[in-house]
């Protein structure tokens, strides 16, 4: 009779065919943490931050967890459904010692992501209009509330990313167990006429915002004086006949609000009925030429409440 030797050599030791790997998952999603063992001899269990989940594949007491795969194939994958912050932890697949096999273990970190709850430009409803004077410094403060990890804030002027050295960023971490981060970004701008009717926006970029970034915006109404007006309808040096109908048109472009446009004849108010539309105001002054209109000085003034003094244009009539 021969002697029977039971030798455990290195090649028959239990080993990980597939190890758990670190994952990021959005709260509410489901995931699988793989664990496959080759040459398995020992019992397998998972731990969460050191807490044992038990050997039963149904993991009683942990309703959102279960172990999947075929045991005969060494598959002990951990299934997690509807992930919560409780699952933001280190999970370890542990194989116990048996039959001369040493215990083995492998771990993975599950990072549960929480999208920001909301975004706002402080003190303003998104899409609202903010009225400011030209060259007056204004601070825009964007707040992105309660994200994990913290969100990245990007500023936009119209559709272009906006960078400025005046930008100040700060984060505050919640006191509760969730440790969500609220991020604040402030910029200072000194708007000019070119910023009138321009949209400024901030966006929160975050790995848990799959469809689109969160966005808040404001429309700037920059108040500024109008430009110099322009007179049409008469060219200086042209001679008008007595009793001829004359129409002088004074047009003022720009300005916010649009300008008041007023006609004066020899320094006296002649017509203050103007109309405004689009980006201009216009006063059309029609009269019948008389002899005393010869060498009369017709002046048109354009101003709004932000004009240091009225802008004007004038002509001298020849009758």
pTM across the whole model? 0.76
pLDDT score, position 25: 96
pLDDT score, position 11: 57
Cα dist from 61 to 19, 55, 64, 240, whole Å: 25, 12, 9, 102
pLDDT score, position 176: 78
**CB count in 10 Å sphere of residue 18:** 17
User: Under a CB-based contact definition with an 8 Å cutoff, are residues 146 and 120 in contact?
Assistant: no
Those residues whose C-beta lies under 8 Å from the C-beta of residue 123, and which sit 6 or more positions away, are 141
pLDDT score, position 6: 44
pLDDT score, position 179: 83
Q: Domains in the chain, ordered, with CATH?
A: 15-113 (2.60.40.10), 118-223 (2.60.40.10), 227-317 (2.60.40.10)
pLDDT along the chain (319 residues), means of 10: 46 91 96 97 96 95 96 97 96 95 96 96 92 94 96 96 94 85 96 93 94 92 94 90 95 94 96 92 95 94 93 93
In sequence order, what DSSP letters do the residues of 82-127 get, joined into one string? Answer: S--GGG-EEEEEEE--BTTBPPEEEEEEEEEEB--SEEEETTB-TT
């Amino acid at each position: 009779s021969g002697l029977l030797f039971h030798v455990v050599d290195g090649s028959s030791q239990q080993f990980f065919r597939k190890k758990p790997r670190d994952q990021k998952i959005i709260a509410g999603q489901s995931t699988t943490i793989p664990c496959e063992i080759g040459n398995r001899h020992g019992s397998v269990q998972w731990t969460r931050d050191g807490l044992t989940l038990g050997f039963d594949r149904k993991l009683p007491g942990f309703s959102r967890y279960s172990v999947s795969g075929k045991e005969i194939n060494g598959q002990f994958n951990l299934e997690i459904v509807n992930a919560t912050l409780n699952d933001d932890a280190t999970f370890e697949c542990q194989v116990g010692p048996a039959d001369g096999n040493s215990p083995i273990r492998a771990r993975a970190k599950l990072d549960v992501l929480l999208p920001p709850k909301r975004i706002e430009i402080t003190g303003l409803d998104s899409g609202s209009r903010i009225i400011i004077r030209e060259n007056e410094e204004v601070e825009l403060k964007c707040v992105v509330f309660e994200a994990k990890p913290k969100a990245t804030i990007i500023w936009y002027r119209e559709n272009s990313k906006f960078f400025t050295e005046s930008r100040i960023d700060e984060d505050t971490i919640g006191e509760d167990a969730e440790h969500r981060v609220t991020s604040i970004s402030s910029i200072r701008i000194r708007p000019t006429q070119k910023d009138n009717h321009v949209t400024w926006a901030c966006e929160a970029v975050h790995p848990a915002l799959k469809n689109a970034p969160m966005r808040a915006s404001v429309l700037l109404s920059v108040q500024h004086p109008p430009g110099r007006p322009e007179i049409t309808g008469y060219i200086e040096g042209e001679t008008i006949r007595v009793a001829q109908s004359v129409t002088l048109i004074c047009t003022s472009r720009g300005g916010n609000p649009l300008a008041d446009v007023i006609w004066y004849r020899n320094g006296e108010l002649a017509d203050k009925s103007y109309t405004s539309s689009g980006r201009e105001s216009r006063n059309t002054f029609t009269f019948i030429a008389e002899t005393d209109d010869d060498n009369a000085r017709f002046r048109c003034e354009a101003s709004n409440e932000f004009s240091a003094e009225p802008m004007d244009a004038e002509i001298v009539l020849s009758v």
